[in-house]
Amino acid sequence: MLWVKAFHIVFVASWFAGLFYLPRIYVNLAMVPPGSVAERERLLLMARKLLRFTTLLAVPAVGLGLWLWFGWFWGATGWLHAKLVLVLATIGYHWMCARMFTRMQAGQTLRSHVWYRWFNELPVLLLTVVVILVVVKPF
């Protein structure tokens, strides 16, 4: 089980690295001046590749987490339930990033660069609370 836990941590850290950077690309996309087609296309390409890679990292992160949940932590207390809610929130955040990318690709940048900067802070908060729950187990 320690190998499963180690690889789970690696994939979660990698997944979050992608979630930290993807909205930064959205900030830059929101700031592209009208008519700057090459810059917009380059940023969209970067976002597409990062989104695909981040999604591929999320799958084993979630899968290994489920393995740990069913094989090791089945009798855990409330901290695990809170963590699972935050994992669902992270999956929702990832889905929102994918949806935003689809809209941006269609030329619909609906938000300002300031909004995307604030949106970029959510995974930091999610990861912080998850780590506290796992390490401290406050309840």
Q: pLDDT at residue 48 above 70?
A: yes
In this predicted structure, what is the pLDDT of residue 64?
Answer: 96
Binned at pLDDT 50, 70 and 90, residue 72 comes out as low
In this predicted structure, what is the pLDDT of residue 75?
Answer: 65
R_g (Cα) of the chain, nearest Å: 17
Q: pLDDT at residue 137 above 70?
A: yes
Q: In whole angstroms, what separates CA 11 from the centre of its chain?
A: 11
